[in-house]
């Protein structure tokens, strides 16, 4: 009797087939893989962003190779006078160091997040945001120097190939926008960590998702640094 009753109950709650079955599956929020939706959506976003940055860098390399006008020497363009001597790429080196260091503080924030240490998690995320803000500030200084002192524009460049300006402002500007958005994202999540939102939610998954975004931004800068500044 018990087996028959259970069978009848199972049959009565079985999902309908056809289009109604698909609708019922979607509305019940079924999960095919054991990956949280937030993390899956972030990976999809990062994958799409990878294609965009790849197109930018490939276009830059194509322009760089095909132009008949001499391309400016990055070591000279991005040098800064220190003690009466022009030091090549010193600002870019500092920017790279700051961004790579921020990856370390973000990784620590994720680690302490899963330990449910609110104070250390929030502090490390805010330190990471501060590093990001420093990076954006140095990038703003770099842009100001090129525009105001060197006369570089997206459509012209007194130091050589006019495509230099458009490539530089497009690639570094798009990356800088990502860093700026990341700084805001970090501050918002850190505030939620402090007020106990994720303790009440029962998961610090959002901290890890924020870390995925930040590590991606740092990784993209490594490629920009290698292809644009060192080449």
Phi and psi dihedrals of 108, rounded to 5? -65, -40
Buried b or exposed e, range 131-145, using 16+ CB within 10 angstroms: bbbbbbebbeebbee
pLDDT beyond 80 at 29 = no
Residue 7 has pLDDT above 50, yes or no: no
Type and span of the H or E element at 164? helix 163-194
186-215 mean pLDDT: 94
In a domain, 2, yes or no: no
**Residue 30 predicted with pLDDT over 80:** no
Residue 12 lies in a domain: no
| Residue 44 to residue 94: CA distance in whole angstroms | 31
24 within a domain of the structure (yes/no): no
In the numeric block, which tokens belong to residue 96? 């790279």
| Per-residue model confidence (pLDDT) at position 24 | 73
What integer best gives the mean pLDDT of the chain?
A: 89
* Contact by Cβ (8 Å): 148, 160: no
Residue 18 included in any domain: no
Instruction: Say if CB 75 and CB 90 are below 8 A apart.
Output: no
Q: Using an 8 Å Cβ cutoff, are 217 and 180 in contact? A: no
**The two structure tokens encoding residue 222:** 């490594």
Whether residue 214 lies inside any domain: the answer is: yes
- Tokens 């007020």 belong to 195
Dist. CA 8–CA 221, nearest whole Å: 60
Residue 94 lies in a domain: yes
Q: What is the pLDDT of residue 13?
A: 46
Quick one: pLDDT at residue 37?
A: 84
pLDDT over 50 at 58, yes or no: yes
Instruction: Characterize 81-97 residue by residue with b for buried, 16 or more Cβ atoms within 10 angstroms of its Cβ, and e for exposed.
Output: eeeeeeebbebbeebbe
Q: Please answer whether residues 172 and 165 qualify as being in contact, where contact means their C-beta atoms are separated by less than 8 angstroms.
A: no
Percent of the chain with pLDDT over 70: 87
Q: Cα–Cα distances in Å, from 40 out to 5, 35, 43, 69?
A: 40, 6, 5, 45
- State both tokens at 36: 């949280």
For residue 160, what are the domain limits?
Answer: 34-229
Provide the number of structural domains found in the chain.
1
Instruction: Encode pLDDT of 72-116 as tens digits.
Output: 999 999 999 998 899 999 999 999 999 999 999 999 999 999 999
Select from 214, 149, 138 the least CA-distant residue to 183. Answer: 214
In a domain, 82, yes or no: yes
pLDDT tens per residue across span 109-163: 999 999 999 999 999 999 999 999 999 999 999 999 999 999 999 999 999 999 9
For residue 118, is it within any domain?
Answer: yes
pLDDT band at 231; cut points 50, 70, 90: confident
Residue 170 is predicted with a pLDDT of 95
Q: How confident is the model at residue 35 (pLDDT cuts 50, 70, 90)?
A: confident
Q: Is residue 54's pLDDT more than 90?
A: yes
Question: How big is the chain, counted in residues?
Answer: 231
Predicted local distance difference test score (pLDDT) of residue 16: 55
Q: In which band, very low, low, confident or very high, does the pLDDT at 12 lie, cut at 50, 70 and 90?
A: very low
Q: What is the mean pLDDT of residues 29-51?
A: 84
CATH of the domain at 194: 1.20.120.80
Closest listed residue to residue 53, CA positions, set 221, 194, 180, 184: 221
For 158-180, how does the pLDDT look when each residue is reduced to its tens digit (9 = 90+)? 999 999 999 999 999 999 999 99
């Amino acid at each position: 009797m018990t087996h028959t009753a259970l069978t009848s109950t199972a049959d009565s709650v079985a999902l309908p087939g056809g289009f109604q079955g698909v609708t019922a599956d979607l509305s019940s929020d079924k999960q095919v893989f054991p990956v949280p939706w937030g993390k899956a959506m972030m990976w999809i976003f990062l994958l799409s962003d990878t294609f965009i940055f790849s197109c930018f860098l490939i276009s830059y390399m194509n322009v760089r190779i095909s132009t008949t006008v001499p391309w400016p020497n990055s070591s000279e363009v991005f040098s800064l006078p220190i003690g009466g001597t022009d030091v090549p790429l010193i600002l870019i080196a500092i920017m790279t160091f700051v961004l790579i260091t921020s990856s370390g503080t973000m990784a620590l924030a994720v680690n302490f997040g899963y330990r449910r240490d609110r104070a250390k998690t929030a502090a490390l995320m805010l330190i990471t945001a501060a590093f990001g803000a420093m990076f954006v500030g140095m990038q703003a200084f770099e842009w100001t120097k090129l525009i105001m002192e060197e006369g570089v524009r997206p459509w012209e460049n007194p130091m050589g190939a006019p495509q230099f300006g458009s490539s530089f402002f497009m690639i570094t500007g798009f990356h800088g926008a990502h860093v700026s958005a990341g700084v805001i994202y970090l501050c918002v999540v850190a505030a939620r960590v402090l007020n106990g939102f994720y303790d009440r939610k029962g998961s610090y998954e959002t901290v890890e998702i924020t870390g995925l975004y930040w590590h991606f931004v740092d990784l993209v800068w490594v490629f920009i640094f290698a292809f644009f500044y060192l080449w």
